Amino acid sequence: MAIFAERVLGHGQVGRLGLGRDGVRWEARLDGEPITLGELVRECAVVCFEPGSHALIAGGAEERRRYLDWGVFHVEHNFLMHWRRYQRALKQRNSLLRSAATPTDTLFEPWEAELAQAAEVIDRLRRTYLDRLRPQLAKAAGGLLPELGALELRYRRGWSDELDLGAQLRELRARDLARGHTTLGAHRADWTVAYEDAPLREHLSRGQEKLTALACMLAQAALYAEQVGEWPIVCLDDLASELDQAHQTAVVAQLTAAQAQVLLTGTELPQALRQMPCKVFHVEQGLLTSLL
């Protein structure tokens, strides 16, 4: 299985991207040359909004960390190195927690020190990114949910601010041994949004969760464009069933004004697009047919 695409850069240069899978192994290429998956993702940034996107607001913290780290990855080129370093140390410490017959300092301290150092860098990069994101998010949410008032974004880094992570890992090692995994660190970070007139996540309706998730996507895409100089590809699935007519029109107007490339899938053409220039395709049983 393989897929290819051509990416036209701002100065007219064309880059050919490829992604293939042979069994369980993925292979990425740029202009015919092998590259890592990380390099491929950096070359072709994509943001998505689909029926399950409300999980960004209503679901678990893992979804929100993934969103946050997508943004940091695309603007901080050294983030991936520190993230991999952290994941490697976390895996080693968790392995010790599950298997160490005699949990000595000698075994744990090197990995705890590595965890703490990488976590501090990751936390600093995440905070910097969120500081840049807040104005974009406030603007996007204000356009979609003005009735809820001002939006506040709150961030928790995953460990207490009172001590460095290394010290806290040492103090809580006995608890982690009992549980078999590391309970503090950058992998436990989370963020939430609160509105002036809906201070708790539980106060939002399902529709408001969807619109908040959409605001997060649009804000992240706008920040990417501000920092990189071009919009990411925007993928919208089943927009007509997810948003009412007024919100469809508002989203389409914003993306049109930004001149973003938008890929929209659904069972019908949204009303907001019917009077606009667009290319429409019908997909059935793997066959693609141009309609407009």
Q: What end-to-end distance do the CA atoms of the chain give, in Å?
A: 28
Q: Tell me if 188 sits within 8 A of 169, measured CB to CB.
A: no
pLDDT tens-digit series, residues 19-67: 888 778 888 888 888 888 888 888 888 999 988 899 999 999 999 999 9
Q: Tell me if 92 sits within 8 A of 111, measured CB to CB.
A: yes
pLDDT exceeding 70 applies to what percent of the chain? 97
Average pLDDT over residues 2-11: 77
Using the predicted structure, report yes or no on whether residue 94 has a pLDDT greater than 80.
yes
Element (H, E) at 284: strand 281-284
Q: Tell me if 159 sits within 8 A of 184, measured CB to CB.
A: yes
* Rounded distance between C-alpha atoms, residue 247 and residue 253, angstroms: 10
pLDDT tens-digit series, residues 177-198: 999 999 999 999 999 999 998 8
Closest CA to 231 of 214, 211, 217, 242: 217
- CA angle 20/22/28 to nearest 5° reads 30
- Higher-pLDDT residue of 42 and 274 is 42
For tokens 């100089």, name the residue.
Answer: 229
Query: Residues with Cβ < 8 Å from 290, sequence gap 6 or more?
Result: 279, 280, 281
pLDDT tens-digit series, residues 112-159: 999 999 999 999 999 999 999 999 999 999 989 999 999 999 999 999
Closest CA to 173 of 119, 100, 84, 114: 100
For tokens 């029926």, name the residue.
Answer: 51
Average pLDDT over residues 7-17: 76
Q: Which own/partner contact pairs does 98-106 have at CB distance under 8 Å and 24+ positions apart? A: 98/180, 98/181, 100/177, 103/173, 103/177, 105/170
Query: Residues with Cβ < 8 Å from 14, sequence gap 6 or more?
Result: 6, 7, 8
Tokens of 175: 């608890």
